[in-house]
Structure 1
Amino acid sequence: MLTRRRSLALLAAPALAAVPAFAPAFAQAPFPDQPVRLIVPFAAGGPADIVARLIGQPMGERLRQPVVVDSRSGAGGMVGVEAVARSRPDGLTMVLASTGALTVLPQIMPRIAYDVQKDLAPVTLAVTVPQILVVSPKLGVRSVAELVALAKREPGRLSYGSAGSGSSPHLAGELFRLRTGIDIVHVPYRGAAPAVTDLLAGTIDLLLADVPVVLSHIRGGALPALAVTADRRLAVLPDVPTMAEAGARDVISGTWYALFVPAGTPPDRIAILHDAAAGALRRDEVRRSLAEQGGTAVGGTPAELAAFVRAETTKWGEVIRAADIRID
């Protein structure tokens, strides 16, 4: 049975926002006079790419070296993560990895080419983005309570979309299903965009999507937003209740992005990279740009990121086993 304590792991993210005092002490340590490559394991132009470019430039200013964003998409982010895991541990190669490739796919894939704990070293948790429960306008429900009541009256009729099996929206949908005790059918898509298209058309009934994916549709009135999967309401959607406020407790989920380097990277270089990343995430314009898309800049210590990843792995592992999620 899913435990309340573990399901609240994501609540800890805002508390990591304080930047540690030790980092600036390393700011003058020697660093190679070479560009730093920041691998984004998703396609250019997507949310991860946007985050990387938002923080890459101010990081480069602090490092006095250019930070070059390099897209390496494929296999749900695993291609880019593997590339960094196999890179030279000199501090010149980082990856902006996310939820799936670090905590979900390693638990549902039969074979994976890297070990998160052994092959990667944490730098900082950069950004957290919660999800929004949206429904088809044809469904005729305007609250989580109405949705749950309908699903319980007609078990197995309602369907929810995702960006693919094992994706963050898939896990969020299963968490919502388990917490509310409803029977709904998963419909995987090849990305979030086609899922949103079918939701608008009424082909599927609901979707738990990252805020930026559906924000314009919510603001335009095309998609009813029932709840946000965070512990507090979002400034960009202040009228949308949290899941707890809507009556669905412990449905805390989202996508997060974190910086890692290859294991074996010298601690002083990790500290320099952390200082640069945390400084970038403190910038008003960066925090404002992220907040406009429903994201929260974090910037915690490497140790805090390591603990966060362990907690997330445990949490989603319980959902994976309870829902019997697997990829052959």
Structure 2
Amino acid sequence: MGVLLHKDAPFHSLADLVAAAREKSNHFDYGSAGTGAPSQVLLLQILYLTGARMNHVVYCGAAPAMTDLMSGTITTVADTTTTALGNIRGGMVRPLAITSTERLPFLPHGPTVRESGVPGLAQLSMSTWSILLAPARTPQPILTLLPHASRDVMADPVVAAKFAEVGNVPMPPLDQTATQAFTATEFDR
């Protein structure tokens, strides 16, 4: 995920945006793909952890929010790097901060939230993720096989190249126990 700005926005760092949002409380608008969407959750976390305030503008999906960001109607949007990458590469928006723990290889000029130096955000990390789900009565041998099959697919150079092209960074396949622990932690957060 990343915090994005219009290409000509006056902020040059996440610290700049947070400082302005603290100083001019509720003067800025952030868009999200909908209430409870990862895009809203990320910006709410940033606002909560920094004491900054912005107005939430709810959109029916990420595309309309991105359109308003590109036109300068709203100040910022959080979005996945996958869906924002085309607009970043096209110069329509710029990444202010990404929420991965390290810079992304396909977005080397996108600083991480940790690099922002904003107090309270050093441990903030958020990403979108996908998991394979199976019906509750799936036989255990099949559940055991899924991580191995996923690993094999992700090791295919064609698949890996496609993931990189669209800005996806695959996480290592997890077994059933690790997947349950991971999702429980994510849901709690």
TM-score by length of 2: 0.92
Q: Counterpart of 1:182 in 2: which secondary structure?
A: coil
Q: Counterpart of 2:57 in 1: which secondary structure?
A: strand
- Give yes or no for the alignment of 1:289 onto 2:159: no
Flag structure 1 segments of 5+ consecutive residues without an equivalent.
1-130, 316-328
> What amino acid maps onto 2:126 in structure 1?
S
Deviation readout 1:83-133 (Å, 9 max, x if unpaired): xxxxxxxxxxxxxxxxxxxxxxxxxxxxxxxxxxxxxxxxxxxxxxxx111
Larger Rg: 1
Could you tell me which residue of structure 2 aligns to residue 310 of structure 1?
184
Q: Counterpart of 1:257 in 2: which secondary structure?
A: coil
Deviation at 1:224, TM superposition (A): 2.2
Deviation at 1:292, TM superposition (A): 2.4
Could you tell me which residue of structure 2 aligns to residue 280 of structure 1?
153
Could you tell me which residue of structure 1 aligns to residue 129 of structure 2?
256
Deviation at 1:299, TM superposition (A): 1.1
Deviation at 1:211, TM superposition (A): 0.5
Could you tell me which residue of structure 1 aligns to residue 11 of structure 2?
141
Deviation at 1:138, TM superposition (A): 4.8
Q: Distance in 2 between matches of 1:233 and 1:137?
A: 20
CA contact (8 A) 1:179 1:250 kept: no
> What amino acid maps onto 1:184 in structure 2?
M
Higher relative CO (CA 8 A, sep ≥ 6), structure 1 or 2? 1
Match of 1:164 among 34, 44, 47: 34
Alignment of 1:1-328 (within 5 A): 131-247=1-117, 248-297=121-170, 298-315=172-189
Q: Counterpart of 1:259 in 2: which secondary structure?
A: coil
CA contact (8 A) 1:152 1:183 kept: yes
Q: Distance in 2 between matches of 1:234 and 1:206?
A: 20
Flag structure 2 segments of 5+ consecutive residues without an equivalent.
none
Q: Counterpart of 1:224 in 2: which secondary structure?
A: strand
CA contact (8 A) 1:236 1:293 kept: no
Aligned length: 185
Once superposed, what is the RMSD of the aligned Cα atoms? 1.4
CA contact (8 A) 2:30 2:56 kept: yes
Deviation readout 1:237-266 (Å, 9 max, x if unpaired): 112111000123222112100001011211
Q: 1:225 to 1:299 in 2, by over 3 A?
A: same
